[in-house]
Amino acid sequence: MTRGGQTKDRDEPERRCIVTGDVQPKAGLVRFVLGPDGMIYPDLAEKLPGRGIWVTADRALIEKAVAKGMFSRGAKAQAKAPDNLADLVEDGLARRVVELISLVRKSGRAVAGFEKVKGWLAEGRAKVLFQATDGSDRGKGKLWTPEGGRWFGCLTSSELGLAFGRDRAIHGALAAGGLTKSVIQEAAKLASMRKQEGGKSANKDTKTA
C-alpha cells in the first residue's frame, strides 16, 4: 500500500523525497524546480523545465526542507526557498482541486447539495464524496463514502462552493471518468498538506457512514 492508501501500480513512476529519503509513487509528492534566479518554485503541474526536486506532500516536511537548506542539495546548486513555501504549495493545490472539480462539474459529472449527492450515492453514480471542513458533523454523518470510492474533507465550504459556482457548498459528489482521477490525486496531496489544520492525512481520506 502507498502513503495515499492505494494499491501500488508497478508501472507508476517513483521519486525520492529529499527530506525522508523514501522512494514512493510521485503522486504522493510535490515537485519543485530551481528557477534562473536561484529561487525554488513549486511545480504543481509538473511541467516546468529543469531538474525536479521532490518532497512528500506534507507541510512539516516542506518546512523542514526550507529550514535545513535541503533544496540546495536536491538541486545540486545553491538554492533559496521562500519561508512561506508550504503556504504557496497548499494554496496552489487548493486552487487546482477547485478548478478541476469545476471542470468535472461542467462536464456533467459532478453535483452539489445534500439531496443530489445522497441520490448519486444511493444510485451508485458517485465515485468521490467531498464534504466541507466547516460543515455540520451531524449533516455530514448522514452520507457515506462511495463503495470502492473516496472521501475527502480537505476543502472549506467557500472553496467547495467556488468549485460549484455558488457561495458555499457542504457536500459534493463526482462520478467516475474524465478528470475525476486527477481530482483524487490532487485532493489527496491537499488533504495531506492540511492534516495539521484539522484536515485528514492522505492515508485517511475514506470514512464510513
Residue 24 Cα distances to 14, 17, 55, 136, angstroms: 5, 8, 10, 35
14-64 pLDDT tens trace: 999 999 999 999 999 999 999 999 999 999 999 999 999 999 999 999 999
> What global pTM score does this model have?
0.87
CA distance 69 to 75: 11
What is the residue extent of each domain of the chain? 14-83, 88-204
Element (H, E) at 100: helix 85-106
Can you say whether the dihedral through the CA atoms of 71, 75, 79, 80 is positive or negative?
A: negative
Same topology, domains 14-83 and 88-204? Answer is no
- Do residues 15 and 54 make contact, with C-beta atoms less than 8 angstroms apart? yes
- Do residues 143 and 209 make contact, with C-beta atoms less than 8 angstroms apart? yes
14-83: CATH superfamily: YlxR-like (3.30.1230.10)
Third-level CATH fold of 88-204: 60s Ribosomal Protein L30; Chain: A; (3.30.1330)
122-158 pLDDT tens trace: 999 999 999 999 999 999 999 999 999 999 999 999 9
